[in-house]
Chains A and B, each alone.
Chain A
Amino acid sequence: MSQINRLAHGGRIDRSKPLHFTFNGQAMRGYAGDTLASALIANGVRLVGRSFKYHRPRGIMAAGAEEANALVQLESGRRTLANQQATRIELYEGLSATSINCWPGPNFDLMAVNSWFHRLMPAGFYYKTFMWPAAAWKYYEHFIRRAAGLGVSPKLPDPDQYDQMNVHCDVLVVGGGAAGLAAALAAGRTGARVILADEQAELGGQLLGEQAEINGKPASHWLAAGESELAGLADVTVLKRTTVFGYYDHNFAGMLETRTAKLPNGGATTRQRLWHVRAKRVVIAAGALERPLIFSDNDRPGVMLAGAVRTYLNRYGVRAGSNAVVFTNNDDAYRTAIALKDAGVKGVCVIDTRLAPHGELPTQALQAGIAVIDNSTITGVTGKRRVQSVEVMTLNADASGVIGPARTFPCDLVATSGGWNPVIHLHSHAGGKATFDEARGLFIAADTLQASACIGAANGEFQLNDCLKDGFRAGRDAAAKAGFKKASRRKLPTAAVVDEAPARIIWALPTTKPIGQRGKHFLDLQHDVTVADVQLAAREGYRSVEHTKRYTTLGMATDQGKTGNIPGMAVLAQALGVANPGDVGTTTFRPPYTPVTLGAFAGRNVGPLADPVRMTPMHHWHELAGCKWEDVGQWKRPWYYPKDGESMADAVNRECLAARNAVALLDASTLGKIDIQGPDAAEFLNRIYTNAWSGLAIGRCRYGLMLKEDGMVFDDGVTTRLGENHFLMTTTTGNAAAVLGWLEEWLQTEWPELKVYCNSVTEAWATLTLCGPNARHLLAEFTDDMDLSADAFPFMSMQEGTVGDIPARVFRISFTGESSFEVNVPASYGLALWTQLFNAGEKYGLTPYGTEAMHVLRAEKGYIIVGQETDGTVIPQDLGMQWILSKKKDFLGRRSFARPDSARGDRKQLVGLLTGDPDMVLEEGAQIVAENRNNPPIPMIGHVTSSYYSANLGRSIALALVSSGRDRVGDTVYIPMPGKVISAEVTTPVFIDPQGERLHG
């Protein structure tokens, strides 16, 4: 197909660089500098897709981010992108795009049957039907889902990468049009750190689509000079293809940069980058969006925004039609009429809703021989797949209807303009207010809590000369407020001032029948929301603009109502009889301004980097030993070490037996370690832990239990007194950060008078736990400065010395009930010592053991694991740990024991369970009942918290929390599982060495 609509000259495209692309499989050509939309228009393509609900044929209606119709599926396979606006896709060689939401294609779409039933499908029709029979809804829904949904998701993982940047700046300028570029120049000249972000590939904004002049020369000269000056300023960063998508509290902005001209393909770099910007000042120069006039069948392919038509001519050198009607309520669209006429478009005429337009631009148009039909409106559009003609009639006195004869104008392009709306989205994101300018029918930014200002067209300044002035003033002002006051004596650029007459605001233009009874007046083209829908919502009592939005889905499509929301809000006001549409208000603008890729939000926190992996110093030894890993928080912990051919059970049994019969070694480095120092450290521990700490001797260890204010167990661990004012606390692996936070919260907010300092030292130490009867013998080979005998080194004490010539702290503490030595060495020595122990340990039967064996061993002794035997509802008494509650002092959580619920007789208590079948291992989490049945509902009396096969006991064991459990010891309880009921005897929770002889040995 040839580029039948391409002009021979003009525009910013490069005719020396042709690009090939396909649309719906058809080969076409465009030029470098084109968007897909401009190239499609150049190739004479009118029909781009089908609408969401009625599947009506739709074409291109805009030239930028406000495009509601022309959505395409870009490319296929892994790099496919759904719902892309053709107006924002820069053309590249080989581009392949297809229409969405139609089958088999946009010209003939089977789903267009929907439009036959359109009368049955007003706003919210689905709330009123599909209710009978009740069970049928899921079938109805199936078809509704299939019909909805626009484009298709990729089916394969994203091959591209995304990254993120964090920056601070003095002035962030949003938008690189005339006002934004001026602001960036003014701020940059003061030496301030400036970021200028613009969504397009080129700076210039609306200037790119106009024939404007600055300082008497084409505006492109000023643009080029400005851009080059910015490039020379060291502290100015210009980011193109970068949309400031969200504005958050404390002048924090999110920006999405597309880092490649070829939208779908990141190539060698990251595809997109999400910027986090903290700016001292933000200048919002985001421009304005043209709004369409709302008339009957205003969705036909070929009905476009007047400004967009101009942009296609001036920027891309394409004619959007060969026979055009301009339909306007303002002077600005006359620029389009004149430009069309100049480009050789036939029959250009202007339909103006105003009576006798007489401004500078209409006068120019008349002089150029363009017919102007005043005080009139389009009452109908013919041509389903492309506009063929418009019907025009005269407006009556109050514009509520039409009078006189109908005239028909053949045309293939209708360029409409209902005026321009400032882009106040960002201002609104961060809580800024807006006021309605009734005369001009637009919202203007008002009060804000942020250090920001809206300028230029974004502030309702539509004269280029005003935008320039405003920009320089705002740039200087923002820099000054950020502390940069250097004055510039340069002469400011100027542009000619064109006198423009006021617009005539008629929100919904009448036709020969009441609205909704002849054609459709579309407000939201993408979601097929019409004026009649909004009127229906109002009639049915959905009076709030938020109700109307939700009931009709106005403004909820991918364009978020950039063209339809303001007219929709005004139509609602009329329907409600509210004189000032500002009183109805807008819906809240929500980020992002334009859609942002999930991948960009995720940044590099995907794949292996989704969350940091914490590894102990011995990690690689474990890996080489072939261990299976358990994720505990961010840590990787060895779960068990299977040998060739071993099942998990084989390996765990072997490790457990070694720990009780020979010697086994655990990497316990992940346990939280908090160094606590200060003259009030002991007092602090007295308050944090339930037991007393003041009397603990230096070099002695004590087990402590930490409760939340509600008396529930929060964490446990052994704390050792290293000096008079110095303790080392250990915490569970998963809770280490939470415990440190807890300590700090109390120190900083409740007990600031205590002189105590807490420091996480978890990663400073490697912890090697030797466990079993041979532990002492093995360790003795490695130290000559510590007496390891039971008398000299009793249980719950600590010695400092050397192990394998490495300075070490050795703790005689145990989580297995065996004689154990926890050797702590500086982290960097961990692997060396671990390896040395294994080199020497073979003769003692040294075996590495993982977390699973650790869990079995501690369960054999009835030791709890916080988070397994506890769940935030367990008090120490439930665990049989009354002994650890000091009666002499106060501690966190103590007061809660006065609550009646703490004294309730039927509380769940920690017990042991032994199944009748010793090989039956209960499922952890299984529920316990008192009755031998399996037909729910059944009252539950508790649940299995831990359950293992114990090789040391030659049978299964379990721990459980059971209501009045200690009174039930000896009773039989039942564990109903799907398909069977298991019985078990309640026992005390200690299965091995209840006297603790092994521990102390």
Chain B
Amino acid sequence: MATVVIPALLRKFTDGKDRISASGRNVGQLIDDLERQYPGLREYIIDDGEVKPSVAISIDGEMGTGGVLEPVRESSEVFILPAIGGG
């Protein structure tokens, strides 16, 4: 199972745990599994079936570009981050 690192302010949904194991072949499935384990998390990450524009997903140190379809491996480490723009 992949490891999802939970942002500090969402740890209220995970009993304070910062790392959760979750299964799924892509980001969408991973978040679905997180929601099954800890209801309430998904609405902070997903909107209308897609990763929110204000959220970025890092998988194994690489910022995902595929939204919910971004592939995830069994050994992946996944971070949920605020999206960053630039000037």
A and B interact physically: no
User: What residues make up the interface of A, taking CB atoms closer than 8 Å to B?
Assistant: none
Interface residues of B (CB under 8 A from A): none
